[in-house]
Chain A
Amino acid sequence: MSNAKPLVRFVDIQKSYDGEILVVKNLNLDVAEGEFLTMLGPSGSGKTTCLMMLAGFEPATHGEIYLKDQSINNVAPHKRGIGMVFQNYALFPHMTVAENLAFPLEVRKMDKSEREQRVKRALDMVQLGPFGDRRPSQLSGGQQQRVAVARSLVFDPDLVLMDEPLGALDKNLREQMQYEIKHIHENLGLTVVYVTHDQSEALTMSNRIAVFDDGIIQQCAPPEVLYEQPANAFCANFIGENNRLFGKVIEDFGDSVKVKIDQGGEVHAKKVNVGGVGERSTLSLRPERVVVAPEEGSLPNEFSAKAEELIYLGDHIRTRFTVCGHDDFIVKIPNSAAHASLQEGDTVKIGWNMEDCRALDPSD
């Protein structure tokens, strides 16, 4: 999908609101046609600003945005033909659902019969066929959300932007809507740029995720790459759960390094984003990749760990260990028949593979 020609291109985009602080620093990003790209990041990371610049509600301070190879910097929002779903739906309360959907068609001077046909098709697409005569206020949150999605699609835009559209829904509904939006994207072959701060939402829906922090894209990659091969300490920590060990590189093997942990112990880790010998590094390790009580000598990294806390979560047991002086080392022990039975205060051996532990840049 990344080989398709880009529909949207951000070239050297910078944005400042007050002339002192750059909210977006030198953004370069291509969105391929048919792609579902998510901008993910903590609040204030510049992701929504990027979306607003693409929609035309904020001017870029520097750089160009291209839509289908045309610069759209000086194109007014209403001429861009980009569908948009807003955080609180922004359905027009004085119009019925059908009138809301017909609005973009009316302003395009479409004739009445075609308009009605399209509105009906759009309502059927989101399974709200019988609700055309209702007011938005008479619908539930999930239904309003569906109407907002239908409205952004009814005029067949090439590109749809979604600004945290599921933020106001409760957890169950949110998950259901995630699948619905994903299916609509797949069925219609849309290009979607989606903004969220919810990483599980991003992982569920996206073809690619651009992780924002501090106005910079930290990594832009498909979900599985982002999770399994985070490029830096921020991404490793922001996406999914992550154990961090801090230390200094003492030996460099080319594609792996030996890192001496500050509080003691040496770890053999995959070299990803770290300088040479003597540089500091953050080691990143997913909780589910840690093996409890491994066979002696089977793993390059083996440490004794003290179980501090056990939390029973049904499918797995979340265990907090003290390892190498870090008392926040989390391990997920699967709830299988063969799983090690631990008590709080027990000391056991734990270990992990060199590939699973990634040596990244020193973070704060």
Chain B
Amino acid sequence: MSQTLVTVDGVPLKVSLARAQRRGKLKAIGLVVPLFLFILVTFFVPILDMLFRSVENQLVGEVMHRTVPLLNNWDEQSGELPSEEVFAALAEDFIEANETKLGGRVGRRLNYEKPGFSGLFRKTTRKAGSLEAPYQQSFIDINQKWGDVENWKIFKRESAPYTISYYLAAVDLGYGETGEIVRNKDDRRIYLKLFWRTVWMSSLITVICLFLAYPIAYLLSALPTRKSNLLIILVLLPFWTSLLVRTTAWIALLQQEGVINDLIVWLGFVADDNRLSMIHNRTGTIIAMVHILLPFMVLPLYSVMKTIPPSYMKAAKSLGATPFTAFVRIYMPNTVAGIGAGAILVFILSIGYYITPALVGGQSGTLISNFIAFHMSSSLNWGLAAALGAILLAIVLILYFLYDRIVGIDNMKLG
């Protein structure tokens, strides 16, 4: 029995089997490859690039390639300026930067750490031609700031090829006088507050969605298929309308001179000079986002409820449970998979939501994603934007992990 099995023509059975199955395997791979490549290029590569950008800091070292290695020998704790040799190298770097036009970018990068660097570097680059020995004095003549040891400390710190300063900034931390990590001053702390606001507003939106969607999904699942299909279309109807149109429609409805305010003033609930402000604030964001995200809660709940046989409730009642007990003890536990799927879907969507808060959020309703967009397109601080995005990603992954631990990801049913 120990001899290997062979086919009729003497080929080992395993080889023959592998050959017979190879075609099928190749076909399967061929079917998957296009989507895999697409996902790789459009999803994983950008995410990895973003994660890289949040710590990447090559620019300073590259442009100031003569100065930066020499700065390593400078003891920033001594309280003295770097040596003349460093200033000479700096002069050469600035002359080169004047030609490559990169001096301004380095200045902008250092400006994130301390305002003033941008102007300093622009001016110095412009006047690079007039630099001459002794270079230290020549630099200080161009701008006093070259004589400040603090500025040199920042320069040295941010010349390393990788930095955590974007992450520090993203959680409202910074460097103190002696280089230790401290919290920013009160008036400059914004991101932690924003993260917190994003999380609790997303939670609130998720909870509201759940409370609104549960009865609807229950009704849909209890109706005969013909009727429930019609109602499902009504639930899906918002998907067929542009997101922008729906959001702006909310502006028309909710604004101070809008339909709803007109109505309640006309009904006499509110005085004309005391109209409710329901848009361009938190309320507006929550109302509009609940409306937009509601279908994502209804559908998973519906698909789970549809699979719960009506006989469960009947059985519970026949066993002596009141309708309420039967619902809480029997029906609800069987919908946990749908609640979990809907909640995680709505929460993850809302935690990264951008358009709606940007349009109707105003000051108090903007979320972290709006600041990411701001740093991407207006302030051009991509490193900070990437760090904020990476933290958001981490929050989502942690929640996903917790969900898996508590509910089990295998139990999730999306439809």
Asked if A and B bind, the verdict is: yes
Residues of A within 8 A of B (CB): 55-57, 76-84, 86-88, 90-94, 103-104, 107-108, 151-152, 155, 161
Q: How far is the CA of A86 from the CA of B315 in the complex (A)?
A: 8
Most buried by A among B312, B318, B321, B326: B318
Q: Let me know if B292 is at the binding interface, CB within 8 A.
A: no
Contact of B315 among A76, A84, A94, A155 (CB under 8 A): A84
Size range of the interface on B?
Answer: 20 to 34
Q: Let me know if B268 is at the binding interface, CB within 8 A.
A: no
Contact of A94 among B314, B319, B321, B333 (CB under 8 A): B333
Give the 9 A-B CB pairs with smallest separation, nearest first. Answer: A104-B319, A90-B315, A90-B311, A84-B318, A77-B317, A94-B333, A78-B317, A86-B311, A107-B321
Do A103 and B311 contact each other (CB < 8 Å), given the known contacts A93-B334, A94-B333, A94-B334? no
- On chain B, the residues within 8 Å of A108 by CB distance are 320
Contact with A along B294-327 (1 / 0, CB 8 A): 0000000000000001011011111111110110
In the assembled complex, the CB of B327 is this many whole angstroms from the nearest CB of chain A, namely 12
- On chain B, the residues within 8 Å of A104 by CB distance are 319-321
Q: Let me know if B127 is at the binding interface, CB within 8 A.
A: no
Do A103 and B314 contact each other (CB < 8 Å), given the known contacts A88-B309, A94-B334? no
Q: How far is the CA of A76 from the CA of B333 in the complex (A)?
A: 23
- On chain B, the residues within 8 Å of A94 by CB distance are 333-334, 336
Q: How far is the CA of A82 from the CA of B315 in the complex (A)?
A: 11
In the assembled complex, the CB of A76 is this many whole angstroms from the nearest CB of chain B, namely 8
Q: In the complex, are the beta carbons of B316 and A103 less than 8 A apart? A: yes
Do A77 and B334 contact each other (CB < 8 Å), given the known contacts A104-B320, A108-B320, A155-B319? no
Q: How far is the CA of A204 from the CA of B330 in the complex (A)?
A: 35
Q: How far is the CA of A104 from the CA of B315 in the complex (A)?
A: 10
Q: In the complex, are the beta carbons of A81 and B320 less than 8 A apart? A: yes
In the assembled complex, the CB of B390 is this many whole angstroms from the nearest CB of chain A, namely 38
Q: In the complex, are the beta carbons of A107 and B312 less than 8 A apart? A: no
Q: How far is the CA of A133 from the CA of B323 in the complex (A)?
A: 27
Q: In the complex, are the beta carbons of A92 and B330 less than 8 A apart? A: yes
- The residue of chain B having its C-beta at the shortest distance from the C-beta of A91 within the complex is B315
Do A78 and B321 contact each other (CB < 8 Å), given the known contacts A87-B311, A90-B309, A92-B312? yes
- The residue of chain B having its C-beta at the shortest distance from the C-beta of A84 within the complex is B318
Q: In the complex, are the beta carbons of A88 and B311 less than 8 A apart? A: yes
Q: In the complex, are the beta carbons of B318 and A83 less than 8 A apart? A: yes
Q: How far is the CA of A90 from the CA of B330 in the complex (A)?
A: 11
Q: In the complex, are the beta carbons of A90 and B314 less than 8 A apart? A: yes
Q: In the complex, are the beta carbons of B319 and A55 less than 8 A apart? A: no
Q: In the complex, are the beta carbons of A107 and B319 less than 8 A apart? A: yes
- The residue of chain A having its C-beta at the shortest distance from the C-beta of B325 within the complex is A107
- The residue of chain A having its C-beta at the shortest distance from the C-beta of B334 within the complex is A94
In the assembled complex, the CB of A80 is this many whole angstroms from the nearest CB of chain B, namely 8
Q: In the complex, are the beta carbons of B330 and A77 less than 8 A apart? A: no
Q: How far is the CA of A77 from the CA of B314 in the complex (A)?
A: 8
Q: In the complex, are the beta carbons of A103 and B319 less than 8 A apart? A: yes
Q: How far is the CA of A59 from the CA of B319 in the complex (A)?
A: 19
Q: Quick one: which of B67-98 are within 8 Å of A by CB?
A: none
Q: Number of residue pairs across A and B with beta carbons under 8 Å?
A: 67
- On chain A, the residues within 8 Å of B309 by CB distance are 88, 90
Q: Let me know if B329 is at the binding interface, CB within 8 A.
A: yes
- On chain B, the residues within 8 Å of A81 by CB distance are 320
Q: How far is the CA of A86 from the CA of B314 in the complex (A)?
A: 9
- On chain A, the residues within 8 Å of B330 by CB distance are 92
- On chain B, the residues within 8 Å of A87 by CB distance are 311
Q: How far is the CA of A211 from the CA of B336 in the complex (A)?
A: 43
- The residue of chain A having its C-beta at the shortest distance from the C-beta of B314 within the complex is A57
- The residue of chain A having its C-beta at the shortest distance from the C-beta of B331 within the complex is A92
In the assembled complex, the CB of B316 is this many whole angstroms from the nearest CB of chain A, namely 7
- On chain A, the residues within 8 Å of B329 by CB distance are 103
Q: In the complex, are the beta carbons of A55 and B318 less than 8 A apart? A: yes
In the assembled complex, the CB of A362 is this many whole angstroms from the nearest CB of chain B, namely 39
- On chain B, the residues within 8 Å of A55 by CB distance are 314, 318
In the assembled complex, the CB of A92 is this many whole angstroms from the nearest CB of chain B, namely 6
* Additional 4 contacts, C-beta under 8 A, given A83-B318, A92-B315, A93-B334: A77-B318, A80-B318, A86-B314, A152-B318
Q: How far is the CA of A80 from the CA of B322 in the complex (A)?
A: 11
Q: Could you give 26 example pairs across A and B, Cβ below 8 Å?
A: A55-B318, A57-B314, A76-B317, A77-B314, A77-B318, A78-B317, A78-B321, A81-B320, A82-B318, A83-B319, A87-B311, A90-B312, A90-B314, A91-B315, A92-B315, A94-B333, A94-B334, A103-B319, A103-B329, A104-B320, A104-B321, A107-B319, A107-B320, A108-B320, A151-B319, A161-B318
Do A78 and B314 contact each other (CB < 8 Å), given the known contacts A93-B334, A103-B329? no
Q: How far is the CA of A155 from the CA of B334 in the complex (A)?
A: 24
Contact of B314 among A79, A80, A84 (CB under 8 A): A84
- On chain B, the residues within 8 Å of A76 by CB distance are 317, 323
- On chain A, the residues within 8 Å of B315 by CB distance are 84, 86, 90-92
In the assembled complex, the CB of B336 is this many whole angstroms from the nearest CB of chain A, namely 8
Q: How far is the CA of A30 from the CA of B388 in the complex (A)?
A: 75
- The residue of chain A having its C-beta at the shortest distance from the C-beta of B318 within the complex is A84
- The residue of chain A having its C-beta at the shortest distance from the C-beta of B329 within the complex is A103
In the assembled complex, the CB of A117 is this many whole angstroms from the nearest CB of chain B, namely 18
- On chain A, the residues within 8 Å of B316 by CB distance are 92, 103
- On chain A, the residues within 8 Å of B326 by CB distance are 78
Q: How far is the CA of A91 from the CA of B329 in the complex (A)?
A: 13
Contact of B320 among A57, A78, A91, A92 (CB under 8 A): A78
- The residue of chain A having its C-beta at the shortest distance from the C-beta of B319 within the complex is A104
- The residue of chain B having its C-beta at the shortest distance from the C-beta of A52 within the complex is B314
- On chain B, the residues within 8 Å of A84 by CB distance are 314-315, 318
In the assembled complex, the CB of A95 is this many whole angstroms from the nearest CB of chain B, namely 8
- The residue of chain B having its C-beta at the shortest distance from the C-beta of A77 within the complex is B317
Q: How far is the CA of A55 from the CA of B323 in the complex (A)?
A: 14
- On chain A, the residues within 8 Å of B325 by CB distance are 107
Most buried by B among A80, A94, A108: A94
- On chain B, the residues within 8 Å of A152 by CB distance are 318-319
Contact with A along B354-368 (1 / 0, CB 8 A): 000000000000000
Q: How far is the CA of A56 from the CA of B316 in the complex (A)?
A: 13
Q: How far is the CA of A161 from the CA of B309 in the complex (A)?
A: 19
Q: How far is the CA of A88 from the CA of B307 in the complex (A)?
A: 13
Most buried by B among A78, A82, A151: A78
Q: How far is the CA of A232 from the CA of B318 in the complex (A)?
A: 36
In the assembled complex, the CB of A81 is this many whole angstroms from the nearest CB of chain B, namely 7
Q: How far is the CA of A90 from the CA of B314 in the complex (A)?
A: 9
Q: Quick one: which of B324-344 are within 8 Å of A by CB?
A: 325-326, 329-330, 333-334, 336
- On chain A, the residues within 8 Å of B323 by CB distance are 76, 78
